[in-house]
Amino acid sequence: MKITSISILVLALGLSACAQTTMSTQNQVSLGVSEASQLPQPSGRGPAILQSEYDVKAVNVSVPPSLRVSEANTFHPSADIVWRGDVPGDRYAQVKAIFDTAAARSTATMHSGEAVVVDLEIVRFHCLTEKTRYTIGGVHSLHFMMTVRDATTGAIVQGPRLIVADVKGAGGARAVAEEQAGRTQKVVVTERLAEVIRRELSAPVTVLPADAMVTRFDGTPAQLASLQ
């Protein structure tokens, strides 16, 4: 598989720990984990205008029960699912509900092109614990597999591919201020997921700046891990 140097860089950034406890992680955040969102193009071109590629008939979200959940209030629990944006409860169901909301929002106007069904399988949903959010802040680590299938035949149109949708999470006084203003962790991750899902199901009708970066990786989680 050919992977460009830009793709490798972005994927490495996407795998940064949620807590900014090391200089390495701080550097990764400063390089733009949360902004990694667009395909690189030659310099001197205009901004991207994205247009839906499909008529999305349905989006199926799955959260495998094999994913490990942690409720530990440490800087970086060892788990696949870490979520504090809802009251304690079924974290699998809560994560699915967030993806359902984001997918519905992002595909609501996608009614032109090939009729498809989109499958989203969560790989990692590692957000900030209370300890991290109210001190140093960090990165919400959001990884999922996306497969686009023909709505009639079920044949695969795209994928499966791993999407890295990491986004920075505020910490300390800023986190408190955001909470008071209604910008909760759930709002942040839902907006980010809706943005990424919309982009991944769209195509640019104009080209992008040379310094734009990608979040798409056409491979498996194991192949992504091998790049670390």
Domain boundaries, the chain: 5-225
Q: What residues are paired with 58 via a beta bridge?
A: 117
d(CA 42, CA 212): 10
The pLDDT score that the predictor gives to residue 217 is: 52
For 103, which DSSP code? H
Q: Is the pTM of this model over 0.75?
A: no
pLDDT at 116 over 60: yes
pLDDT of the residue at 171 = 86
pLDDT, tens digit, for every residue of 42-89?
444 455 567 888 999 999 999 999 999 999 999 889 999 999 999 999
Residue 17 is predicted with a pLDDT of 40
pLDDT at 165 over 80: yes
Q: For residue 63, with 0-12 CB atoms within 10 Å meaning exposed, 13-18 middle and 19 or more buried, which class applies?
A: buried
Confidence of residue 225 (pLDDT cuts 50, 70, 90): low
pLDDT in tens, 177-208: 988 898 999 999 999 999 999 999 988 765 54
Cα gap 183→37, rounded to integer Å: 21
Q: Quick check: 161 pLDDT over 80?
A: yes
